[in-house]
Amino acid sequence: MSITVAKTAGFCFGVARAVDIVEKCCEDKDNKYYTLGPIIHNKHVVDDFSRKGISPIEDIEELSGGEKLIIRTHGVGKDIYDRLKEKNVEIIDVTCPFVKKIHNIVERHHKEGYKIVIVGDKNHPEVMGINGWCENCAAIFATPEEAKNANFENQKVCVVAQTTFVQEVFKKIVTFLKKTCNDIVIFGTICNATEERQGEARELASKSDVMIVLGGVNSSNTQKLYSICKGVCPTAYCLERIGDLPQGCDFDSKRVGITAGASTPAVIIKEAIGKMENFESFEALMEESLKTLNTGDIVKGTVIEVRPNEVIVDLGAKQDGFIPAGEISDDPNATTDSVCKVGDEIEVFVVRVNDADGNIMLSKRKLDTVKTWENVKKAADVGEVLEGKVTEVVNKGMIVNYKGYKVFVPASQASEKRDADLSEFVGKVVAFKIIDINDRRKRLVGSVRVILDAQKKELQEKFWESAAVGKVYTGVVKSITNFGAFVDIGGVDGLVHVSELSWKHIKHPSEVVSVGDSIEVYIKDIKEDTKKISLGFKKAEDNPWEIVKSKITLGEPATVKIVRIMPYGAFAEIIPGVDGLIHISQIANRRIDNPAAELKIGESVEAKVTEIDWDNKKIALSIRALLPVEEAPAEVVAEEVAEVEAPAEEASDATEE
Ligand code: SF4
């Protein structure tokens, strides 16, 4: 960026003189000073004087008399001087001498009968002031079109110009006036300072890429400068101060021209130059510090925004980069917010620069994929255990997704069982090792089984180190046969015989346990040579023959339930697992031939405990003993006695474990 400041920028002679005089007035603390309207068209200068005690008024009627009024460079009409005299207001006249000269020309020619023509803006204070020296009867033209229709036939015409008017337009207007007026005097009262400033601005603007015009928004000469610059320079800004420059202006490698209106103090111009020079050095520093990125680069950046569909990354480059959601991770299920958060440093691959939107497209997934392959190769070399999710079952195996890579696991390597249903693994995370790798084709073969085998071996070694009869384990029922259940007690299976599963008589182990049940077992026996383990499951405290001891007393009655009926009597359950025999002779207080005619299975009856043999686990019960005694024929009694003593083989059936 190059900066050129117009030599004519800033205060003109008239404004500098006026400001000097007002500065001196500020030192006079004994009198009250006012200005009629803003002293110059620059808010910052006016505000500064206000702070020093000299404020503008809009109308002299605001004055009561005795004050001092400063008439500004634009000048005022004659009537204002007259009224101020009447009001006894002291005048400090800083009207620019070039403007005062116009007043004199107009006053004199008006008195001599000339029609006064003022070329300028009829609403500008200077023009209004000039008009006040010909009793406000001047014709005022601002454009050649306005002058074109003027008719001053048979009139003497005196033409003056607003000091800050555009010279070229003035010339065109005069050309029209000359055509209609035979008697015309023309005073080129455009101030040299203005003419020079406008000429220099035009030339500078034609050589610049950007023009900055400094001055008040209400300043006529500033607006004219801006208009000139805009006409020849592609980009022009009109600013009161450099701080008003819109954000985002690009001065990169630009030729910048600076000019300023006649009311613009030097301090504002200096401020602008300083800011632009700093801007230049800042820009240079930024340029230096900004990275140049190319497609294929791997760079680090900082996450500055996480959106559902993309992540924005500050790369320290001119533009921020973005990672589309699909490029945030090699895990297809990952969401942007699950991968990163604002403030995270992130390494990314530059996919594309200078795309249509001027953005930089990035990918973390690509980088992850490259890194992952390197990690997979290392893992394969050292036999590292990896984890991945089973995504599908394929011919002869299943596919495990490891960070975006498909790992084929043959059926024989998928589990301990060769005939396992692989569909059960779909969706589950499994641990595996790489057992084959094709670097060129990026193909991987894995094995879950090698992990399971290794784990099992380790468990077995640990088990045998501490295995001992009586030791209790929590195991898992792996399989069930007619003769018992095999239980995994930590890499080693033991057998719980069917007789060890329950204190009650059971026909099949499935009445007590199911495959997958977690049960507590203890080692009953270890065959060291064959490594076979017998397990116990029943607990001593659950032994019904121990429990029943507290439930019954010899010679006392008990409530029992008929559970089986035999020709020689009925078995009655005292508590679950312990039955007693009610012999046929003890069912009634009379002779009976068929127990089933007297009792029903499931029926509860009262019976007396007539005999207990704890060693042989036999209990005899009698209903009859609780019934009233009936007279019976002598032969019947003899038969009953004979039956009770006789069938030894039947009595053995009365045991129940
Ligand atoms: S521009 Fe010219 S006429 Fe106007 S105040 Fe400045 S010196 Fe005077």
CB-ligand 1 contact for 129 (6 Å cutoff) = no
Are 148 and 177 in the same domain?
Answer: yes
The residues facing 569 across adjacent strands are 566, 583
The pLDDT score that the predictor gives to residue 631 is: 53
Q: Is the pLDDT of residue 75 over 90?
A: yes
Are 485 and 569 in the same domain?
Answer: no
The pLDDT score that the predictor gives to residue 564 is: 95
Q: Residue 171 is which amino acid? A: K
What is the distance between the alpha carbons of residues 54 and 72, in angstroms, rounded to a whole number? 13
Catalytic center residues: 126
**Looking at residues 5-20, what average pLDDT do you find?**
88
Asked, for residue 17, whether it belongs to a domain, the answer is no
Which residues, including other chains, have CB under 8 Å from residue 231's CB and lie 6 or more apart?
A: 202, 205
Are 533 and 599 in the same domain?
Answer: no
Q: Is the pLDDT of residue 602 over 50?
A: yes
Asked, for residue 501, whether it belongs to a domain, the answer is yes
User: Could you tell me which residue, 203 or 282, shows the higher pLDDT?
Assistant: 203
- Whole-number mean pLDDT of the chain? 87
Are 169 and 234 in the same domain?
Answer: no
Residue 103 and residue 75 in contact, taking contact as beta carbons nearer than 8 Å: yes
**Looking at residues 299-322, what average pLDDT do you find?**
86
Are 362 and 399 in the same domain?
Answer: no
Structure confidence at residue 654 as a pLDDT band (50, 70, 90): very low
Q: Is the pLDDT of residue 293 over 90?
A: no
Q: What is the CATH number of the domain that holds 104?
A: 3.40.1010.20
Asked which of 190, 209, 241 is the last residue of a domain, the reply is 190
Q: Is the pLDDT of residue 264 over 80?
A: yes
Structure confidence at residue 656 as a pLDDT band (50, 70, 90): very low
Asked, for residue 32, whether it belongs to a domain, the answer is no
Are 358 and 394 in the same domain?
Answer: no
Are 403 and 307 in the same domain?
Answer: no
The pLDDT score that the predictor gives to residue 652 is: 40
CB-ligand 1 contact for 13 (6 Å cutoff) = yes
Read off the pLDDT of residues 516-541 as tens digits, 9 standing for 90 and up.
999 999 999 998 888 899 999 988 77
CB-ligand 1 contact for 430 (6 Å cutoff) = no
What is the distance between the alpha carbons of residues 310 and 320, in angstroms, rounded to a whole number? 12
Are 556 and 603 in the same domain?
Answer: yes
User: Could you tell me which residue, 205 or 322, shows the higher pLDDT?
Assistant: 205
67: left (phi over 0), alpha (psi -120 to 50) or beta: beta
The pLDDT score that the predictor gives to residue 282 is: 46
Q: Which atom of ligand 1 is nearest to the CA of 13?
A: 7
Q: Is the pLDDT of residue 542 over 90?
A: no
**Looking at residues 208-215, what average pLDDT do you find?**
93
Structure confidence at residue 446 as a pLDDT band (50, 70, 90): very high
Report the range of poorest mean pLDDT among 361-370, 441-450, 624-633.
624-633
Strand order in 115-119's β-sheet? Answer: 139-141, 115-119, 156-161, 183-186
Percent of the chain with pLDDT over 90: 53
**Looking at residues 233-246, what average pLDDT do you find?**
87
What is the distance between the alpha carbons of residues 402 and 330, in angstroms, rounded to a whole number? 9
**Looking at residues 262-266, what average pLDDT do you find?**
86
Residue nearest to atom 8 of ligand 1 (CA): 14
* 523, two tokens: 């080692």
Asked which of 289, 315, 350 is the last residue of a domain, the reply is 289
Q: Which atom of ligand 1 is nearest to the CA of 163?
A: 3
Are 364 and 394 in the same domain?
Answer: no
Asked, for residue 482, whether it belongs to a domain, the answer is yes
Structure confidence at residue 117 as a pLDDT band (50, 70, 90): very high
**Looking at residues 564-590, what average pLDDT do you find?**
94
Radius of gyration from C-alpha coordinates of the chain: 58
Are 594 and 626 in the same domain?
Answer: yes
Asked, for residue 75, whether it belongs to a domain, the answer is no
Q: How many domains does the chain have?
A: 6
Q: Which of 39, 71, 73 to mutate to test the pocket of ligand 1 (most atoms within 8 A of CB)?
A: 73
Asked which of 289, 312, 337 is the last residue of a domain, the reply is 289
Percent of the chain with pLDDT over 70: 93
Asked, for residue 68, whether it belongs to a domain, the answer is no
Read off the pLDDT of residues 156-188 as tens digits, 9 standing for 90 and up.
999 999 998 888 899 999 998 988 888 899 999
Q: What is the CATH number of the domain that holds 614?
A: 2.40.50.140
Q: Which atom of ligand 1 is nearest to the CA of 96?
A: 8
Asked, for residue 47, whether it belongs to a domain, the answer is no
**Looking at residues 314-337, what average pLDDT do you find?**
84
Q: Which of 21, 101, 166, 194 to mutate to test the pocket of ligand 1 (most atoms within 8 A of CB)?
A: 194
What is the distance between the alpha carbons of residues 298 and 447, in angstroms, rounded to a whole number? 34
**Looking at residues 619-623, what average pLDDT do you find?**
96
The pLDDT score that the predictor gives to residue 400 is: 94
Q: Which among 36-40, 46-50, 376-380 has the top mean pLDDT?
A: 376-380
**Looking at residues 345-366, what average pLDDT do you find?**
80
CB-ligand 1 contact for 164 (6 Å cutoff) = yes
- Domain holding 354, by residue range, is 298-368
Q: Is the pLDDT of residue 657 over 70?
A: no
How many Å lie between the centroid of ligand 1 and the Cα of residue 73? 7
**Looking at residues 305-324, what average pLDDT do you find?**
85
Structure confidence at residue 281 as a pLDDT band (50, 70, 90): low
Are 231 and 274 in the same domain?
Answer: yes
How many Å lie between the centroid of ligand 1 and the Cα of residue 570? 139
The pLDDT score that the predictor gives to residue 40 is: 83
Residue nearest to atom 6 of ligand 1 (CA): 14
Are 303 and 358 in the same domain?
Answer: yes
What is the distance between the alpha carbons of residues 597 and 590, in angstroms, rounded to a whole number? 13
Asked, for residue 602, whether it belongs to a domain, the answer is yes
The residues facing 213 across adjacent strands are 238, 259
How many Å lie between the centroid of ligand 1 and the Cα of residue 101? 11
Residue nearest to atom 5 of ligand 1 (CA): 14
The pLDDT score that the predictor gives to residue 645 is: 45
Residue nearest to atom 7 of ligand 1 (CA): 14
The pLDDT score that the predictor gives to residue 426 is: 94
